[in-house]
Amino acid sequence: MEAYPFTIPTFLKAAKSRSQAASFSMADPRRGPGYKQAIGTDVPVFWDVRFQFQPDEAIAFQLWGTQKLNNWMDEFTMPIRTEFGLIEHVCSFLPEGLLPVDEAGPLFSYKAKLMTRAQVIPDQFKAAADLIIGLPRWRDWGDYLDRTVNQEVPGA
């Protein structure tokens, strides 16, 4: 799988937004309260992004998409900043995306819609979910817990 080239700037952070469909549907019965039904666990995430390039970068970007990604159809890997930090995602461009927006002076801007396979949550966050959810300002507790477990009550 092709990786996004480190020689080309990624999309603009200020022009990034994310949407995701629900992993459940809501049934609307004739009588009584509605109920939820799971429809799957692999729910893709959609990113509306905007790229902005100098002329040479725009040429490299177009060549990468047309030559390396089979005219923008193939999947690729790209780091995307989320709540969990900079996380590698498997992405693909959607057909309605990647539209040249404008040429402002020497800059070329492109609007795109990316789809990633799923929301990526790193394993270390999953493992610590109960602590993160249960502790206020959970990041501040790391030193206290480490000291307590390793120095004050070792072997407990």
Residues 51, 105 within the same domain: yes
My answer on whether 156 and 102 are in the same domain is no
Q: 62, 51 in Cβ contact below 8 A?
A: no
**Is the domain of 83 the same as that of 136?**
no
Q: Which residue blocks in the chain are alpha helix, DSSP H?
A: 55-63, 123-127, 129-134, 142-147
Q: For position 29, what pLDDT does the model report? A: 76
* Each residue's pLDDT tens digit, 83-135: 888 899 999 999 876 777 677 778 898 889 999 988 888 888 888 888 878 87
The bridge status of strand 17-20 relative to strand 45-53 is: antiparallel
Task: Say if strands 35-38 and 99-104 run parallel, antiparallel, or are unpaired.
Answer: unpaired
Same domain, residue pair 127 and 152: yes
Q: Are residues 27 and 47 in the same domain?
A: yes
More confident residue, 148 or 9: 9
What are 8-64's pLDDT values in tens digits?
998 887 777 778 777 777 777 777 787 777 777 778 889 999 999 999 999 999 999
Pair (26, 95) in one structural domain = yes
| Spacing of C-alpha 46 from chain mean position | 8
Helices (H) and strands (E) in the chain, counts: 4, 9
CATH number where 106 lies: 2.40.30
Report pTM: 0.74
Q: Which domain holds residue 51?
A: 2-121
Number of compact structural domains in the chain: 2
- Asked if residue 142 and residue 116 are part of one domain, the reply reads no
142-156 average pLDDT score? 71
Domain check: are 111 and 141 in the same one? no
Is 136 found in the same domain as 115? no
Helix (H), strand (E) at residue 81: strand 76-82
72 shares a domain with 12: yes
